[in-house]
Amino acid sequence: MYLLLTFIILRAALAVAATCDSITISSEDDANTIQGCRTVTGDVVLSTDITDAISLEGVEEIAGNLKASGSPITSLSAPKLRSIGRDLALHGLAEATDISFPQLNEIGGVFDLDSLPSLTALNISVLTSVESFHLGSMANLTKMELQHLYNVTGANPTVNISSVGLESVSGFNETSRLKSFTLQNAPNLKLLPIRTAEIDTLFINGSGVLTVDFFVGNMGPKFIGVLNITGCANFFPFPDATTVNALNLYQNTFSDLELELLEVKDSIRIMDNPNLDHVLFPNSDLVRSVIYGPPTGSKAPQWKELVIAGNPKLDSDQLDFADTDWGFWYWGARNLSTLIMTGSSLHNKFFDPDDTTGQRLPETNHTYTTAEFRVSTDAIGFNCSFLDSLRSKGLFQGSYSCQGNTIPAGPVPGTAMSRVMSVGILLGSAFIAASFVAI
């Protein structure tokens, strides 16, 4: 009983003595002074003078910021901390190997950890709400404990993860809407599930090994404003009725690209993908197209720009539209401002289908491009005459360029010289014969 009473008195004394407003921690003793504070009403700042492992043992709430910049601490923990009213900002902690906030549930401002090169473990397992989320320059961080980040709720809700060693990032992108989501330079990451319903800008650089999963347990994005995917090994198909304004796929290593369930509103750019050998293009009315023919009116493809360039294994025969045979003019170039196609495997029949393909010729009263039409290939035998004729009929407005590798008309090389030699031989023979007669 005496010991219990003594403990209560000591704790009360600590609470009275504790500084529970803003504090700058320069030593372990400074950290001990706020152990009696359940709530710190101001900021907690770690100075550049402190070199210890810091533990904020008794603190459950920080009303202001928790910040450190350039501090040489070796670790930071707050085992009972549940909320931070403003920002958690830790920058340039070169010696810190472990950061642990196992009870931290809510951050009123931004979660911002950057330039922690020695960090190997990060525990924010129950964090569910922040204004924005940033991890950067942590090459040794292979494990992050995070179960469900449901709410990224700021005026500019963003998730940015770059230059990290993480092997898994499950749990951090389950919020309903993001202004932007960026992941790049994460060479150990093999799988990225995307569950966010709406993302204005999604940028992913997969370091050559990443698979992006857009269809996780019947969940996935319904709207992406600008989707940039580069350096990815694969991605799983989109869920039904996903809308993308601009789709940019650059320098990926996957071979097959299935986009049939997408509704693309503005542009498709597929460039410099060295292994790509098949593309299945979007069709927002797949069943009707297969049964009744190509979609028209509001159901027709709405993208305004189509660029396919620098994909060395992609043959124009492998550009498909939802397994139908209606042809390029009814899906690929229906309502374009700009069409650019370059490559070594473009064929005449892709643009000028013959009777054996079952595809339809372009409509002569329809304008297919309004700003630019550019086709270039070094495929032997590709002939621009058909496209030139469409240009002359006004089907392509704005700038126009078609460069093929047509074998020039006329004699086979060497034929003219052969004829000259033959004539010379005949004349020589006649001259010799005449000479004999004269003799």
The predicted-structure confidence for 244-296, as pLDDT tens digits, reads as follows: 999 999 999 999 998 888 889 999 999 999 999 999 888 655 544 444 555 56
Is the pLDDT confidence value at 39 over 60?
yes
Write down the pLDDT at residue 172: 66
Distances (CA, A) of 185 to 136, 232, 357, 435: 10, 11, 45, 88
Q: Count other Cβ atoms within 10 Å, centred on residue 399.
A: 11
Return contacts of 46-55, CB within 8 angstroms, 24+ apart.
46/71, 46/73, 46/76, 47/71, 48/72, 50/25, 50/26, 51/95, 52/27, 52/28, 53/77, 54/25, 54/28, 55/31, 55/79
Averaged pLDDT, 355-379:
82
Measuring CA to CA, which residue among 139, 143, 97 is closest to residue 124? Answer: 143
Q: Using 50, 70 and 90 to split pLDDT, how confident is the model at 153?
A: confident
Averaged pLDDT, 149-177:
86
Is the pLDDT confidence value at 406 over 70?
no
Averaged pLDDT, 80-91:
98
Residue 8's identity, in one-letter code, is: I
pLDDT in tens, 108-146: 999 999 999 999 999 999 999 999 999 999 999 999 999
> In angstroms, rounded to a whole number, what is the distance separating the alpha carbons of residues 198 and 201?
9
Q: Using 50, 70 and 90 to split pLDDT, how confident is the model at 51?
A: confident
Write down the pLDDT at residue 299: 64
393 compared with 300, residue with greater pLDDT: 393
**Residue reference for tokens 């550019």:** 374
Helix or strand run (H / E) with residue 32: helix 28-33
Q: Is the entire prediction scored with pTM above 0.85?
A: no
Q: Count other Cβ atoms within 10 Å, centred on residue 420.
A: 10
Is the pLDDT confidence value at 214 over 90?
no
Write down the pLDDT at residue 413: 38
> In angstroms, rounded to a whole number, what is the distance separating the alpha carbons of residues 186 and 163?
6
323 compared with 148, residue with greater pLDDT: 148
Write down the pLDDT at residue 106: 97
420 compared with 108, residue with greater pLDDT: 108
